[in-house]
Chains A and B, each alone.
Chain A
Amino acid sequence: KAGVTQTPRYLIKTRGQQVTLSCSPISGHRSVSWYQQTPGQGLQFLFEYFSETQRNKGNFPGRFSGRQFSNSRSEMNVSTLELGDSALYLCASSQLAGWGTDTQYFGPGTRLTVL
């Protein structure tokens, strides 16, 4: 099975712009979670989607949003970029089909730099 893929891998934007990141989960996985990773804050949970519904959200401002499509692919959008949004954005997928299937598999991440 192919792993979790994320595009693009690297992105450079300027303050005030918006950005859309994409994640394709492992085939058969219905849950997609997004995380922000920075040296100072570690891995922070952004949100989780399951069957096109956002089921859980972390403590991030409304500038961070996401969606999931019927094929389980997910996108994350950040509007009005700030310097502090520079980070590695990781996507993880899970089957969540019952006991023992909640292991998350991570993609390689998208490295976002805001200038």
Chain B
Amino acid sequence: QQQVKQSPQSLIVQKGGIPIINCAYENTAFDYFPWYQQFPGKGPALLIAIRPDVSEKKEGRFTISFNKSAKQFSLHIMDSQPGDSATYFCAASSNTGGFKTIFGAGTRLFVKA
């Protein structure tokens, strides 16, 4: 119930392509779904986040699609660039009974120039 399943494990796209990373959760107590980007040697940095009362959120080239009934959400990166090459983590958070965030396993994205 506490897992967040993320796929694919790795992804290679051409510059300008639209990589899509998918996540699924089980626990309906989660009420905040952030995506983090991590570069080697750095801590994860928040990219974009969504709440379950919204089906889509867009910030710049990054879009989250959220399907509450299916308990799934995904990240789309429009017009991907080589600088987007990083590891992406989805997460699910709840502040019920203490704040807790469960992370997906991560997706290593490589954007070819």
Contacts and interface: CB of A to CB of B under 8 A. Distances in A.
A45 B100 contact: yes
A55 B93 CA distance: 14
A46 B98 CA distance: 13
A104 B89 CA distance: 13
B99 A42 contact: no
A35 B99 CA distance: 13
Contacts of A109: 43
Interface stretch (B15-23, B44-52, B57-65, B68-76): B44-52
A96 to B, nearest CB: 6
B32 A102 contact: yes
A105 interface: yes
Secondary structure class of chain A's binding surface, majority of residues: strand
Contacts of B104: 42
A57 to B, nearest CB: 9
Contacts of A90: 43-44
A22 interface: no
B97 A56 contact: yes
Contacts of A31: 99
A43 B89 contact: yes
A56 B99 contact: yes
B106 A56 contact: no
Given A43-B89, A102-B93, A33 B99 contact: yes
Interface string B76-110: 00000000000001000101011111111110000
Contact of B99 (A4, A44, A102): A102
A33 B32 CA distance: 16
A56 B103 contact: no
A70 interface: no
